[in-house]
Structure 1
Amino acid sequence: MASAMDRGSSMVPSSDSVLANGASLAGKREKEKDGSLTEQRNGHFRSRVEQRISNDTVLEDLAPLWDDDYGTQTVKDYFNAVKERNEADGGPPRWFCPVEYGHPLRDSPTLLFLPGLDGNGMGLILHHKALGKAFEVRCLHIPVQDRTPFEELVKLVEEAVKFEYALSPNKPIYLLGDSFGGCVALAVAARNPTIDLVLILTNPATSFGRSQLQPLFPILEALPDSMHVTVPYLLSFVMGDPMKMASVNIENTFPPKKKIEQLSYNLISMLPCLPELANIIPKDTLLWKLRLLKSAAAYANSRLHAVKADVLVLASGKDNMLPSGDEAKRLNRSLQNCKVRNFKDNGHTLLLEDGIGLLTIIKGTCMYRRSRRRDLITDYIPPSVTEFKYGFDQVVGLIRTSTGPVMFSTLEDGKIVKGLAGVPDEGPVLLVGYHSLLGLELTSVIEKFLSEKNIMVRGLAHPGLFTDRDESSSSEFSMADWVKVFGGVPVSASNLYKLLSTKSHVLLYPGGAREALHFKGEEYKLIWPDHQEFVRTAARFGATIVPFGAVGEDDIFENDLMKIPLLNDFIADTISRQSIKIRDEASGEVANQNIFLPVLLPKIPGRYYYLFSKPIKTQGMESILKDKEKANQLYLQIKSEVGRSISYLIKKRKEDPYRSVVDRKL
């Protein structure tokens, strides 16, 4: 086995990479003759796991803006890696782990990658380093000439799952199934409903019976061997989007001319790699794989009702091989716990194409956890440098460009300075501020703390962003998903308690959704509850409270929906009844939190201005915990500071010669 494994420099030695737990088909067959062999292999693997842990080759934590290496590997590297493996390929299916995965975080769950039609297991090459931080990754390799039946492959994966479960029964096991691998993942989940499994399926081949290529299969079977050299070129355009593949390492900030030059170079450099598809999937292997796909789809579809696992389906809108969009809708209806994310511009080989990183998708859909119950505080992984660039350049880049945010903070001596020098670096810190219309001001707060202080601010957001109510089979990766990637958690007393206990920087808006969806004439009005909701919690942990005001976003839009009489009653009687209320017992105007999307009258964008007031230290204020009157006095002081910051900014923006977006751009 070792001689057939991992001879390339990209692989670790086989003794460390092979899951010697019955995953080898040859070993499985030997087990039927000698029942003690599996125990020997399991013992060998267990010692390797214990050695890995004892060597402390795990990470305790990840700092914000960590390097996920995305864009350094391309499709060309995929072909090179596959070619290297194919030169000495043979033997039974087996597991391996490329060294690029590095060291994972402590207590990371196991992820088993189940490849698609190619079977080589290198389909995650663009995501190696990122996934390697969050998971213990194992990739299944099925040699080109292997002819293991589908049910035997299912049993092979099942044995690996059971072994991982025996080692860590309180951790979930992730099955990442790409195309054909999606059928394997569903089959294993159906056969093991009591094991905590999480399935990530990319364009699963359960729709193989409705493939657009079905009429071509008989022609392919009759194709002479001499003509098979043309098949790789056909497959390259059917299986993936060449433009998306070639765009992987092109920065969005590149000027247009450089983008075109780099894209042209990447496309040209890919052409010599296409003939390698003939070695990856020669004619006899391709015909075998097509028959295997047929049986795999039938097997998985007949057992969908038995799947109890959490499932995330990723579907491509330009899949020319399978009807993945329609299949995602069907699976969403058929499976008990299923989420769907659609990627309308991608082809079948989603994992090898440019776009959002796989770990980003898993985090944004709240599918990542280290135990049976998801904990949004302890399971959180801070954004990588790629996520930071993508999120703030492409997702909210237009807002940042049009509003030109500028921030000020207050030092201990009361001096106001540009930047965040006045905000403490050490937590726990509670940032308490005013919610502008739609809450769009918070994106600049998160970005500035990351770029200037390398601090991840955890925002307390409306619980409606974390429910599955708006989930549908046509959902794309949205702003709500990015909120979770950048640290948002549902606002609650328990989550505030947990965040402050971990010495985090926390962002809180007492006015909540009511303030963020205020009406015309309510600009810069603090719509807060009558009583404190956070002061005593902050004092319990000696947190530093930093009040702040934000001015400018209300100059972009006006909420005029309530001027329409017929819609006024409709909102109150229908939409608000369906919304999630988090302050049913609160008094004051803030208790009226009817959540709806307002009709907005656009205006010329105004500039954002922020002022963080002098920090208020609660260290030594333990008396507040029992004295409600003192707690209320501090609460009113914080509210007054926020109001003063807003008044200061309104006055100062009149003196800004670059308040207008036109002046700033000129």
Structure 2
Amino acid sequence: MTRTGACLLSAGLLPVFRPSRRYAAVKTSASFAANGLLVKNNNVEYKTKELKDYFVESKDMIKADGGPPRWFSPLETGSHSHDSPLLLYLPGIDGTGLGLIRQHQLLGKIFDIWCLHIPVNDRTSFIGLVKRVERTIRSESYRSPSRPIYIVGESLGACIALAAASCNPDVDLSLILANPATSFSKSILQPLLPLLEVLSNQVYPRVHEILSLMTDRMVKGLCLQQIVGDISQDFIASSFYLSVVTDILPEETLIWKLQMLETASTFVNSRLNTIEAQALILSSGRDQLLPSQEEGVRLCHTLPKCEIRSILDSGHFLFLEDGIDLVSIIKGTYFYRRGKYLNHVSDYMPITPSEFNRFYPPYRFYEDITSPVMLSTLENGMIVRGLQGIPSEGPVLVVGYHMLHGMEIIPIICQFYVQRKMILRGMALPGLFERLRSKELADASLFDIFRIMGAVPASASNLYKLLSAKSHILHYPGGLREALHRKDEKYKLSWPDQSEFVRMAARFGAKIVPFGVVGEDDVVEVLFDCKDPTKNPFLKPVAKDLTSTDANENRKDPTENPFLKPVAKDLTRTDANEEMATEDISFPVFLPKIPGRFYYYFGKPIETEGRMQELRDKEKAHELYLQVQAEVEKCLAFLKEKRENDPYRNIFPRLVYQAIHCFTSEVPTFEL
């Protein structure tokens, strides 16, 4: 039996979308409810759709045309939870509403998706479209005031989204804008518009030739990926795709849409300073229609709450291309929330195996170079290779030494997932999760993988939430000061004199796993460290950004209370009265060496369950803190001694071993 592909969402706001019988019979067929209720079907599994599905379904969609613009919801997106945010998709100049077709299945697990379809022959003005979207926004905001509304807009749709946001500053909106057409005045299509209006017969083929550049590029990519060897099949496929583009944008419609783009760009640019909504801009590096890279940077500096991500190898129609996963982008930017404020625990979406397999290969090279040795301690005290000694049930607080520039983080996070399928959620510097004021540090996208793997800004409230959720947590009491230690402080703990994290752990009965890691001196040599960079006018803003804790989530978190304040000082290390906080932060300069090896040793877990009353006493808590610190130092001493007996400490013996056995084989180490 043929399953339907979409359902209507009128809710009395927009007319009912009633497709033709043929539309209901093909693969892209849709089922519609006259009463506007969403038809859910969670018993059907939908395969991920491809580029060809967009053209096939678009052709059927335009044949079912009739009536003004309306919303529809693809049935393969019906698996979301009841508290999932609403996502409104606003299409580009194609108007089909199917631009997210390759994203539907994954997005549908976390969003309630409504897509706007603009019929080919519809002549609703730009202002008219904005008003229609506004009505939906206000209606849904009134119905669910605590639920944010996401708007994904492409090109023209991005302009509609920005215009709607400027007119509704009181509504909680999150905008995801792909190649916004606010730069239409600089487009290669803009000079052709006056000619197209006068000499349509001569100019129209040229404009379609320009639009087909994107289609031709995607078709070639599709054919290469599917290893299609028959040239005639490629030609037939390309001809079909181009004919659909012509059907979607016939001459009069194309003129109308280009005129609308010009109006939209002018309208939105005059109101950018009134937009307060959170925004994520996705800019394609090979957009042949708009200067999207430059425009993304301009908008990012204009909008107050804006992040930007550049996808260098993509064209104008971003979401239809291979390798684009909007859900992963949302995860990597921490752009997903179910309420007014982001909750780094309840709003976190765990990394999936497919995501890990996609992100892991670049970091696998780093592991191949350092060949990390992971040791852990079983309950009986036996030391084993691997992570079997890490408790399976949380909460677990993994506490240890921070190597220079945090070189140890990637292997430890990845191996916890590879070996135990555990997500080790790191407590990281808040400055790495915000749009830095000074703009002195690297692009924030470099840290997206850590967000996807579960890292959260270091704060007392986040530690509280993670422990209450029984998570596995990676915590460095030494913080930034330890990660940027001086060359004479190698393997020296830079922990504060007092720490409150043990009392927090006892509150939830968490197991504390001390660990040590050595090997930084086997891969780099520190040349020098700055005397006092925080007094340097160029580096002082950087340090301020890194240690900043003024995010909304930290200012207005409901779990903030006097019990958490001491822990906040311990986590952020910004209290001027603390001894360690007053010391200079140095930015060491180092020289790479012939790669050695990293060694990790996780000690026996320390139980805190049932000790909450005991550890309320500060002296008792401090004794446990010193015990954890001593165990970490023992782990470091153990590894420094044992690595001297490792015949494969240098990279060359390891390469020889792998060449003889297998390059994927585990390289031996010292005897346990």
TM-score range, shorter-chain basis?
0.7 to 0.9
Partner in structure 2 of residue 199 of structure 1 = 175
Partner in structure 2 of residue 23 of structure 1 = 14
Q: 1:142 to 1:472 in 2, by over 3 A?
A: farther
Cα shift readout 1:192-235 (whole Å, capped 9, x = no counterpart): 11111111111111111221232333454566769967765531
Partner in structure 1 of residue 268 of structure 2 = 300
Q: Say yes or no: does 1:561 pair with 2:528.
A: yes
Secondary structure at 2:387's aligned position in 1?
A: coil
**1:271-286 maps to which residues of 2 (within 5 A)?**
271-272=238-239, 273-286=241-254
Q: 1:270 to 1:593 in 2, by over 3 A?
A: farther
Instruction: Give yes or no for contact 2:46–2:76 (8 Å, CA) kept in 1.
Output: no
Q: 1:277 to 1:477 in 2, by over 3 A?
A: farther
Partner in structure 1 of residue 663 of structure 2 = none
Partner in structure 2 of residue 540 of structure 1 = 507
Instruction: Give yes or no for contact 1:121–1:141 (8 Å, CA) kept in 2.
Output: yes
Of Structure 1 and Structure 2, the greater helix share is in 1
Partner in structure 2 of residue 187 of structure 1 = 163
Q: 1:165 to 1:213 in 2, by over 3 A?
A: same
Instruction: Give yes or no for contact 1:247–1:263 (8 Å, CA) kept in 2.
Output: no
Cα shift readout 1:53-92 (whole Å, capped 9, x = no counterpart): xx9x79xxxxxxxx998xx433223222222323333332
Taking the aligned partners of 1:336 and 1:368, their CA distance within structure 2 comes to 18
Partner in structure 2 of residue 257 of structure 1 = none
**1:220-235 maps to which residues of 2 (within 5 A)?**
220-221=196-197, 232-235=208-211
Taking the aligned partners of 1:549 and 1:220, their CA distance within structure 2 comes to 69
Instruction: Give yes or no for contact 1:431–1:548 (8 Å, CA) kept in 2.
Output: yes
Partner AA of 1:634 in structure 2 = L
Q: Which moved more, 1:205-214 or 1:542-551?
A: 205-214
Partner AA of 1:162 in structure 2 = R
Taking the aligned partners of 1:446 and 1:245, their CA distance within structure 2 comes to 34
Taking the aligned partners of 2:321 and 2:440, their CA distance within structure 1 comes to 22
Partner in structure 1 of residue 617 of structure 2 = 627
Q: Which moved more, 1:439-448 or 1:385-394?
A: 385-394
Cα shift readout 1:457-476 (whole Å, capped 9, x = no counterpart): 11101122123225869985
- Out of 213, 217, 234, the residue aligned to residue 189 of structure 2 is 213
- Per the TM alignment, residue 484 of structure 1 is displaced from its structure 2 partner at its CA by 1.8
Q: Say yes or no: does 1:465 pair with 2:432.
A: yes
- Per the TM alignment, residue 245 of structure 1 is displaced from its structure 2 partner at its CA by 5.2
Percent identity of the aligned residues?
46
Secondary structure at 2:108's aligned position in 1?
A: helix
Instruction: Give yes or no for contact 1:339–1:471 (8 Å, CA) kept in 2.
Output: no
Q: Say yes or no: does 1:176 pair with 2:166.
A: no
Instruction: Give yes or no for contact 2:15–2:67 (8 Å, CA) kept in 1.
Output: no
Q: 1:477 to 1:333 in 2, by over 3 A?
A: closer
Partner in structure 1 of residue 604 of structure 2 = 614
Partner AA of 1:212 in structure 2 = I
Partner AA of 1:541 in structure 2 = F
- Out of 643, 648, 657, the residue aligned to residue 647 of structure 2 is 657
Q: 1:520 to 1:308 in 2, by over 3 A?
A: same
Q: Which moved more, 1:346-355 or 1:291-300?
A: 346-355
**1:209-608 maps to which residues of 2 (within 5 A)?**
209-221=185-197, 232-238=208-214, 242=218, 246=222, 271-272=238-239, 273-394=241-362, 396-469=363-436, 478-562=445-529, 568-574=531-537, 575-576=539-540, 578-580=542-544, 581=547, 582-585=572-575, 590-592=580-582, 594=584, 597-608=587-598
Cα shift readout 1:100-127 (whole Å, capped 9, x = no counterpart): 2241134111010000011111111222
Taking the aligned partners of 1:442 and 1:18, their CA distance within structure 2 comes to 46
Secondary structure at 2:114's aligned position in 1?
A: strand
Q: Which has the higher contact order (CA 8 A, sep 6+)?
A: 1
Taking the aligned partners of 2:515 and 2:441, their CA distance within structure 1 comes to 39
Q: 1:193 to 1:203 in 2, by over 3 A?
A: same
Cα shift readout 1:368-400 (whole Å, capped 9, x = no counterpart): 211111222221111123331232213x33312
Partner AA of 1:121 in structure 2 = G
> How big is the alpha-carbon RMSD for the aligned residues of Structure 1 and Structure 2?
3.4
- Per the TM alignment, residue 43 of structure 1 is displaced from its structure 2 partner at its CA by 12
Partner AA of 2:86 in structure 1 = T
Instruction: Give yes or no for contact 2:16–2:34 (8 Å, CA) kept in 1.
Output: no
Q: 1:240 to 1:290 in 2, by over 3 A?
A: farther
Instruction: Give yes or no for contact 2:400–2:515 (8 Å, CA) kept in 1.
Output: yes
Taking the aligned partners of 2:608 and 2:216, their CA distance within structure 1 comes to 57
Taking the aligned partners of 1:264 and 1:630, their CA distance within structure 2 comes to 77
Taking the aligned partners of 2:443 and 2:170, their CA distance within structure 1 comes to 31
Partner in structure 1 of residue 23 of structure 2 = none
Q: 1:26 to 1:132 in 2, by over 3 A?
A: closer
Partner in structure 1 of residue 664 of structure 2 = none
Q: 1:196 to 1:326 in 2, by over 3 A?
A: same
Taking the aligned partners of 2:199 and 2:435, their CA distance within structure 1 comes to 49
- Per the TM alignment, residue 244 of structure 1 is displaced from its structure 2 partner at its CA by 9.3
Cα shift readout 1:537-560 (whole Å, capped 9, x = no counterpart): 111111111111112234222333
Q: 1:589 to 1:607 in 2, by over 3 A?
A: farther
| TM-score where L is the length of structure 1 | 0.84
Cα shift readout 1:346-382 (whole Å, capped 9, x = no counterpart): 2212222244522222222232211111222221111
Partner in structure 2 of residue 31 of structure 1 = none
**1:77-88 maps to which residues of 2 (within 5 A)?**
77-88=53-64
Secondary structure at 2:80's aligned position in 1?
A: coil
Q: Say yes or no: does 1:11 pair with 2:2.
A: no
Taking the aligned partners of 1:269 and 1:512, their CA distance within structure 2 comes to 60
Q: 1:654 to 1:579 in 2, by over 3 A?
A: same
- Per the TM alignment, residue 187 of structure 1 is displaced from its structure 2 partner at its CA by 1.2
Q: 1:140 to 1:577 in 2, by over 3 A?
A: closer
Taking the aligned partners of 2:605 and 2:15, their CA distance within structure 1 comes to 61
- Per the TM alignment, residue 314 of structure 1 is displaced from its structure 2 partner at its CA by 1.6
Q: 1:354 to 1:234 in 2, by over 3 A?
A: same
- Per the TM alignment, residue 425 of structure 1 is displaced from its structure 2 partner at its CA by 0.9
The count of corresponding residues between Structure 1 and Structure 2 is 614
Q: Which moved more, 1:321-330 or 1:184-193?
A: 321-330
- Out of 108, 114, 124, the residue aligned to residue 84 of structure 2 is 108
- Per the TM alignment, residue 439 of structure 1 is displaced from its structure 2 partner at its CA by 0.8
Cα shift readout 1:267-304 (whole Å, capped 9, x = no counterpart): 87963423321122222221111111112222222222
Secondary structure at 1:125's aligned position in 2?
A: coil
- Per the TM alignment, residue 136 of structure 1 is displaced from its structure 2 partner at its CA by 0.8
Taking the aligned partners of 1:639 and 1:226, their CA distance within structure 2 comes to 78
Instruction: Give yes or no for contact 1:206–1:296 (8 Å, CA) kept in 2.
Output: yes
Q: 1:345 to 1:26 in 2, by over 3 A?
A: closer
Secondary structure at 2:384's aligned position in 1?
A: strand
| TM-score where L is the length of structure 2 | 0.83
Q: Which moved more, 1:309-318 or 1:467-476?
A: 467-476
Taking the aligned partners of 1:109 and 1:263, their CA distance within structure 2 comes to 45
- Per the TM alignment, residue 262 of structure 1 is displaced from its structure 2 partner at its CA by 10
Taking the aligned partners of 1:520 and 1:314, their CA distance within structure 2 comes to 41
Instruction: Give yes or no for contact 1:95–1:140 (8 Å, CA) kept in 2.
Output: yes
Cα shift readout 1:154-184 (whole Å, capped 9, x = no counterpart): 1111111111111101111111110000111
Instruction: In structure 1, list runs of 5 or more residues that go unmatched.
Output: 1-6, 28-40, 59-66, 251-259
Taking the aligned partners of 1:266 and 1:616, their CA distance within structure 2 comes to 65
